[in-house]
Amino acid sequence: MAEPFRFFTETGLTIHTNFKADSLKSLLYGLKKVSGSSIFYHVHHALLRRHFATSDQMNDFARWVLVHLSQASLAERLSAVDPMGCKSVREAREQLIDIVKEYVGIGELFFRVSEGSEFHFLQMHSMVLPLKYKADDLESFYKGLRNASLGTFFYHLIEAPIRLGKQSNDFSEWLSHSLNEDDLADEIARLNPYVYNLWELKAEILQRVRRRLKTLHTS
């Protein structure tokens, strides 16, 4: 009998750290000194806070550099840091530091932003909450996904794998290990969460599960 899939969601309180940046040099200093939780917030939680109508791939650092410092080339390089390609938050931090350090090292004079336009390094105190529904087959899994909030998708696709050092997302692991749905698990695992906003990602996953259910019902 399949081990039930238990749906969780994440909520939390966003708090300020003691770091803020008004220039590239102070941004670099902050990247080196803030906690890993702050890097996680600005790189990964940026996905959860995207507007549903955009697939803007920029993390918070890249967006600030573009909007407030007007450094388009640097913003492009920062947004190219692929969180899915990083094995840890530390690796993402190191890539960001190297990019900004190289840019600052060119020797150009970079201005400071005006008061009120600084970059504030934030982090989140998160709580993971169980939801009332669970799944024990593909049909109930589909219904759970359909009713799930974006916070649930963020937790199972991003938060849990990164925080717990998993090889894949929770959905794919359960589909493969409990239902032997290896092909469907691989399809979902190949979806890069940072290419979509979460509304689109939910739709992509639902489409794949629905297609698999249709195949099962007609076979």
What is the mean pLDDT of the segment spanning 89-99?
94
Structure confidence by residue, pLDDT tens digits, 136-164: 999 999 999 999 998 899 899 988 888 77
For residue 213, what pLDDT is reported?
97
Compute the distance between CA of residue 4 and CA of residue 106 in angstroms, rounded to an integer. Answer: 55
Report the distance separating Cα 95 and Cα 78, nearest Å.
Answer: 9
User: Nearest CA to 12 among 118, 163, 146, 133?
Assistant: 163
pLDDT of residue 8 exceeding 70, the answer is yes
170-213: per-residue pLDDT in tens?
A: 999 999 999 999 999 999 999 988 777 788 899 999 999 999 99
CA 178 to chain centroid: 25
Q: Is the per-residue pLDDT at 104 higher than 80? A: yes
**pLDDT band with cut points at 50, 70 and 90 for residue 52:** very low
